[in-house]
């Protein structure tokens, strides 16, 4: 019924000591309640005048059951008067109450600690696994889906685990204790009450199926809500400028209605389960009352035993009544558990890296031979039989019309996307059989939209080399022509950057990204449209920074602006995913029509 959920329950059971303490405390709490119910029997006998004191009650009990006689030392300690016995028993009830409350507190404490610890571990593992999934997989599903699973689904999992260990365990044990007390008073009535069990189980099974389906649909719709909300608010400037507020609100509204429909589907099943079970309980109680009445009228049972048995059964019912809700909550935890397991069991991008040899240190050449790359779900290759030899220390530029595969070639060089065909080799060694991490340690990439996280500028530059010294960070910032504007910010390198670097200009963000690349001192530097979204002044600074850190290393630049590529050693012209021509700026102007058209369009737009 709740298969995937039990995977995480097994993780919880790995902490055997804490689990044992939680169970022991819950058992003590339940035993205290059951003992309190049993104590009510002697209290009732004394109050009704059937016995003069507790010592007489104990003697009568053992005489009735023809059991061993209690030691006289015990009987001498027990009160013999009704008032003394009543005070003794009520004092005992108070002690049992204190013990039960203390044990209940400790049980809840251990349960919360256990569940929170397991869920924190699951969140961390899911996040780690998401970072290590193939880029194409994450892009295809969208970051919002993984964010939703890591945060929302993990929260729902914690609700399920807390219900199982913190609530359901306690209520079940209390129900067992009350059941034992009921057996003590009248076993015939108690066994008859058990007939309700199979009917309740069928109702819970039917409700659980509907709840699981509804919760899974609700989670998928919530995931869509998160995606649309994130897209809309992140691109709020464009949404407002285009007057598209109503359009985005409509998209959100459709998903919101679907989430509401699925949520109501699950809640309806939850709402129906409890009234049905209560109705069955009332019918059973009426049957018990009739059966007990007949026994009392025939002289085969005592009225006080019936009252105590019914009271114990009522306590059992009160303890077990929430169990129906708890089972529904466990069923609801099944859907998020399954979604989390999909991430945890997905093959990592670097699966098997430990058994692969390291990529060779890049010293001479990188060769792409008949390389083809296709994105998941696509019907044609983004890069088709691409061949190129890249020499160490060379500055290579790649140009071409939009969608021709320029950025895809860079992704292939960084092994961010697996090759659909062909080979990528370094100094004659095919990288296919080498570890990803060993190759990526030799390169750095500056993207068109550089990634900056909320934190200080120093933290953002340090990304990729967490152990770098302050002096090394300052040197990298200087080489990236970033130190001048950094010093103007309040706090300098300690200045805080807003989420996604929104507190900085495009040119400033790019120079921080270049400083980050300079800090890792890569053998291969990949620049993907680094100047496409900055002003002319920033472009000059960025071009100077690229020249600065490009000295002595290999640089591959994908550029839209020709001012960034005319000084390259070689320029590759691409069209429809393939190499059209390779040469210098002057050579290509003379012989490549596509390059000449692109250059004219660029310079005309600039002039």
**φ and ψ at 380, to 5 degrees?**
-130, 160
Provide the pLDDT for residue 47. 53
Q: Assign a CATH topology to domain 3-213+273-342.
A: ABC transporter transmembrane region fold (1.20.1560)
H/E segment holding residue 395 = strand 395-399
Pick from 216, 72, 95, 102: nearest CA to 152 = 216
Residue 366 has pLDDT above 90, yes or no: yes
Q: From residue 579, give the alpha-carbon distance in Å to each of 114, 231, 389, 401.
A: 58, 35, 12, 12
The whole-number average pLDDT for the span 566-594 is 90
pLDDT at residue 262 is higher than 80: no
Find all residues with CB under 8 Å of 402, minimum gap 6, and list them. Answer: none
pLDDT band at 409 (very low <50, low <70, confident <90, very high): very high
**Does the pLDDT value for residue 350 go beyond 50?**
yes
Mean pLDDT calculated for residue range 555-566:
80
Token pair listed for 119: 């869920």
Which CA distances in Å does 511 have to 357, 480, 590?
35, 6, 34
Give pLDDT tens digits for 524-551.
999 887 665 555 556 677 777 777 787 8
Residue the block writes with tokens 């203390």: 102
User: Residue 607: its pLDDT value, please?
Assistant: 44
pLDDT higher than threshold 80 for residue 114: yes
Q: What is the DSSP letter of 328?
A: H
- Would you state the pLDDT for residue 573? 93
Residue 566 structure tokens: 């005319």
Which of 84-93, 186-195, 514-523 ranks highest by mean pLDDT?
Answer: 514-523
Statement: residue 458 has pLDDT above 70: yes
Among candidate residues 215, 194, 175, 195, the one with its CA nearest the CA of residue 320: 175
Spatial contact of 443 and 366, defined as CB atoms under 8 Å apart: no
Between CA 581 and CA 583 the distance in angstroms is 7
Q: How many Å apart are CA 508 and CA 513, to the nearest integer?
A: 9
Cα-Cα-Cα-Cα torsion 514, 519, 525, 527, nearest 10 degrees, comes to: -10
Measured at the CA of 247, the angle between CA 241 and CA 249, to 5 degrees, comes to: 105
**What average pLDDT does the segment 83-87 reach?**
71
**What is the largest distance, in Å, between two alpha-carbon atoms of the chain?**
121
Separation between Cα atoms, residue 464 and residue 407, nearest integer Å: 22
pLDDT of residue 193: 61
pLDDT confidence band for 71 (50 / 70 / 90): low
The ranges assigned to domains in the chain are: 3-213+273-342
Confidence of residue 480 (pLDDT cuts 50, 70, 90): confident
pTM over cut 0.85: no
Looking at the predicted structure, is the pLDDT value of residue 213 above 90?
no
Residue from 450, 449, 472 nearest 462 by CA:
472
The residue with tokens 């899974």 is 216
């Amino acid at each position: 019924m709740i298969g995937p959920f039990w995977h995480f329950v097994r993780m919880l059971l790995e902490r055997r000591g804490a689990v044992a303490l939680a169970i022991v405390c819950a058992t003590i709490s339940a035993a205290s309640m059951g003992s309190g119910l049993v104590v009510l029997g002697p209290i009732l006998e004394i109050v009704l005048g059937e016995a003069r004191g507790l010592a007489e009650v104990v003697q009568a009990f053992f005489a009735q059951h023809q059991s061993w006689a209690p030691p006289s030392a015990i009987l001498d300690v027990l009160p013999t008067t009704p008032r003394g016995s009543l005070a003794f028993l009520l004092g005992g009830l108070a002690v049992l109450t204190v013990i039960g409350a203390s044990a209940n507190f400790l049980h809840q404490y251990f349960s919360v600690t256990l569940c929170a610890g397991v869920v924190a571990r699951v969140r961390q593992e899911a996040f780690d696994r998401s970072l290590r999934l193939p880029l194409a997989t994450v892009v295809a599903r969208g970051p919002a889906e993984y964010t939703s699973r890591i945060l929302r689904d993990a929260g729902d999992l914690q609700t399920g685990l807390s219900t199982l260990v913190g609530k359901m365990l306690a209520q079940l044990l209390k129900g067992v204790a009350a059941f034992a007390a009921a057996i003590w008073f009248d076993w015939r009535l108690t066994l008859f009450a058990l007939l309700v069990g199979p009917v309740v189980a069928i109702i819970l099974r039917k409700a659980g199926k509907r709840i699981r389906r509804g919760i899974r649909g609700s989670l998928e719709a919530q995931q869509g809500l998160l995606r649309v909300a994130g897209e809309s608010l992140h691109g709020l400037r464009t949404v407002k400028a285009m007057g598209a507020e109503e359009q985005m609100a409509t998209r959100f509204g459709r998903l919101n209605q679907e989430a509401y429909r699925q949520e109501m589907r699950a809640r309806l099943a939850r709402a129906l389960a409890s009234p049905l079970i209560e109705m069955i309980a009332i019918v059973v109680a009426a049957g018990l009352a009739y059966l007990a009445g007949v026994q009392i009228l025939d002289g085969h049972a005592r009225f006080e035993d019936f009252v105590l048995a019914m009271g114990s059964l009522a306590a059992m019912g009160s303890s077990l009544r929430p169990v129906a809700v708890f089972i529904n909550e466990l069923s609801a935890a099944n859907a998020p558990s399954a979604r989390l397991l999909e991430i945890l069991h997905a093959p990592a991008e670097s699966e098997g890296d430990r058994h692969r040899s390291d990529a060779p240190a890049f010293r001479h050449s990188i060769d792409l031979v008949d390389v083809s790359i296709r994105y998941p779900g696509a019907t044609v290759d983004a890069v088709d039989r691409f061949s190129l030899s890249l020499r160490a220390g060379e500055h290579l530029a790649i140009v071409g019309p939009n969608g021709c595969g320029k950025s895809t070639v860079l992704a292939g060089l960084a092994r961010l996307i697996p090759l659909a065909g062909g080979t990528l080799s370094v100094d004659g060694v095919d990288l296919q059989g080498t570890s990803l991490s060993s190759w990526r340690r030799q390169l750095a990439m500056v993207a068109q939209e550089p990634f900056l996280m909320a934190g200080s500028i120093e933290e953002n530059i340090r990304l990729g080399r967490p152990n770098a010294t302050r002096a090394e960070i300052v040197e990298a910032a200087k080489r990236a022509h970033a130190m001048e504007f950094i010093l103007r910010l309040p706090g300098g390198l300690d200045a805080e950057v807003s989420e996604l670097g929104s507190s900085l200009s495009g040119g400033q963000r790019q120079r921080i990204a270049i400083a980050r690349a300079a800090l890792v001192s890569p053998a291969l530097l990949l620049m993907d449209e680094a100047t496409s979204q900055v002003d002319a002044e920033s472009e000059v600074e960025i071009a100077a920074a690229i020249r600065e850190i490009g000295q002595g290393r290999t640089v591959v630049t994908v550029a839209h602006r020709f001012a960034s590529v005319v000084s390259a050693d070689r320029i590759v012209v691409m069209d429809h995913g393939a190499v059209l021509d390779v040469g210098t700026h002057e050579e290509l102007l003379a012989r490549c029509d596509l390059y000449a058209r692109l250059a004219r369009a660029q310079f005309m737009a600039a002039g």
